Structure 1
Amino acid sequence: MTDTPLPHPGSNGIPGVDAPDHRGRTGLHLAGRDLDRNPGVRIRDVELTSQGWHVLRRTTFDYRRRDGRWETQQRETYDRGNGAVVLPYDTERGRVLLTRQFRYPAYVNGHPDGMLIEAAAGLLDEQDPYTAIRREGAEELGIRIGELVPVLDAYMSPGSVTERLHFFAAPYTPADRTGAGGGVEEEGEDIEVLELPFAEALAMTRDGRITDGKTIMLLQWAALSGPFAPDRDSPGT
């Protein structure tokens, strides 16, 4: 969604700072001001530069270099909250569940049609990762997720994006289907559910048909040390 430039201070305050923004948020300029975990970093100022669905901040801080010198640096950070992603797998049939949907940022940056094949994912929206990814499984894939296997946590673009992504895998069977999936239409989602042989999905990461980073990571994990690893007696490898 489009970021909204902040208005100049007025009698009604600045949305997101001392007045509620369109999502009811205030104090967005305070994030990071009290950080003290790293003695080599001293936060000097946090400026809220824009807020739409997500938040853009410009932070000024002092950084102690390896040679002991202090220097003032400035960084912009894009805060979209944290997220979770899941790879449902059926070892009995050698299948995995993925999605395909239009991604404008990929389209504008060279992807042929912007239709990316991905593992189901979503923002936590103040839920814990387990609850959030079960919600996404129902909305996007139309399945009921029971057992969740934690795989890893990762910062996917730490140079500018604050998001921490929680990776999961989950066994499923055809009996776990609860609906067609496809996402939430009111949120603009139009998601195609793909059930693919695992071997085919893994091959797609090699030939360029799958270019989404989180999906590549989960499929490679499944092949190397997950449910389809060579030392496990399962089809689809």
Structure 2
Amino acid sequence: MLEGMRSDDRVPGGVPGVDVPDRRGRTGLDRVGLDLTGNPRVRVREVELLSSSWYVLRRTTFDYRHSDGHWSVEERETYDRGNGATVLLYDAERATVLLIRQFRYPVYVNGHPDGYLLETAAGLLDDDDPETAIRREAAEETGYDIGEVRHVFDVYMSPGSITERVHFFAAPYSAADKVSEGGGLAEDGEDIEVVELPFAKALEMIGTGEIADAKTIMLLQWAALSGPFAP
């Protein structure tokens, strides 16, 4: 779609994602946010659909009333990839955690040496509730069928531009829970390595930069401060 295409800039056959389905069958993507009323200091004027190739990029124009009472017209671009969930798998008896390693092109192009990040298992919710989604992702990525999960917190990971809210969980694992080799879904292009680490080593790797993924750092620090490995 052309940069800045508005809902009234019709092309023959319609605008994908606006009045005709895009590649994922979505329409009305230019109307999200127009009905927001929760903040009287914000009045949404217009939503432009910039891209819906897979996820959704919008530019929104809104009136904003500042603390001193004056109004200004603001523009923000938001990237909507849906919400997600992540889980820290831990073995308290053996003092280990189960992580995954996978290639992340965005970090590779932004200074990471090889683009391979150590992370907690995670994925988008799609049409599932957070707990169902994280059970699915844990099984696909690590090969473990986890039992009871604990909800830890929910976090907006990059609120300046990305709408995603991530639901954080923790769950114990043991050898008896392993049902497959994991590795992710080949049809989705996933090539995931399962990595078991001593918890103390994982904490050290935050300081050395060997673990540089935000959600993973947050869950490891939670585990050390108030989770399964707290004093």
TM (norm. structure 2) is 0.96
Aligned partners of 1:5 and 1:51 also within 8 Å: no
Give aligned pairs, total.
227
SS in 2 for 1:167: strand
Q: What are structure 1's unaligned runs of at least 5 residues? A: 231-237
Aligned counterpart, 1:145:
146
Are residue 81 (structure 1) and residue 70 (structure 2) matched? no
| Cα shift at 1:10 | 2.3
| Cα shift at 1:5 | 4.4
Aligned counterpart, 1:17:
18
Opposite residue 149 of structure 1, the aligned amino acid is R
Q: After the TM superposition, which residues 112-191 of structure 1 pair with which residues of structure 2 at under 5 Å, given as runs?
A: 112-191=113-192
Aligned counterpart, 2:28:
27
Instruction: Supply the distance in 1 between the matched residues of 2:11 and 2:208 (Cα, whole angstroms).
Output: 55
* Deviations 1:174-229 (CA, angstroms, capped at 9, x unpaired): 10001000000100100000011111111111111000000000000000100000
SS in 2 for 1:30: coil
Opposite residue 130 of structure 2, the aligned amino acid is P
| Cα shift at 1:9 | 2.4
Opposite residue 178 of structure 1, the aligned amino acid is V
Aligned counterpart, 1:233:
none
TM (norm. structure 1) is 0.94
Are residue 44 (structure 1) and residue 42 (structure 2) matched? no
Instruction: Supply the distance in 1 between the matched residues of 2:29 and 2:211 (Cα, whole angstroms).
Output: 36
CA RMSD, aligned part only?
A: 1.1
Instruction: Supply the distance in 2 between the matched residues of 1:67 and 1:221 (Cα, whole angstroms).
Output: 38
Q: What are structure 2's unaligned runs of at least 5 residues? A: none
Aligned partners of 1:156 and 1:163 also within 8 Å: yes
Aligned counterpart, 1:54:
55
Opposite residue 78 of structure 2, the aligned amino acid is T
Aligned counterpart, 2:106:
105
* Deviations 1:59-104 (CA, angstroms, capped at 9, x unpaired): 0000000000011100000000000000011111111110000000
Instruction: Supply the distance in 1 between the matched residues of 2:112 and 2:168 (Cα, whole angstroms).
Output: 25
Instruction: Supply the distance in 1 between the matched residues of 2:11 and 2:48 (Cα, whole angstroms).
Output: 17
SS in 2 for 1:36: coil
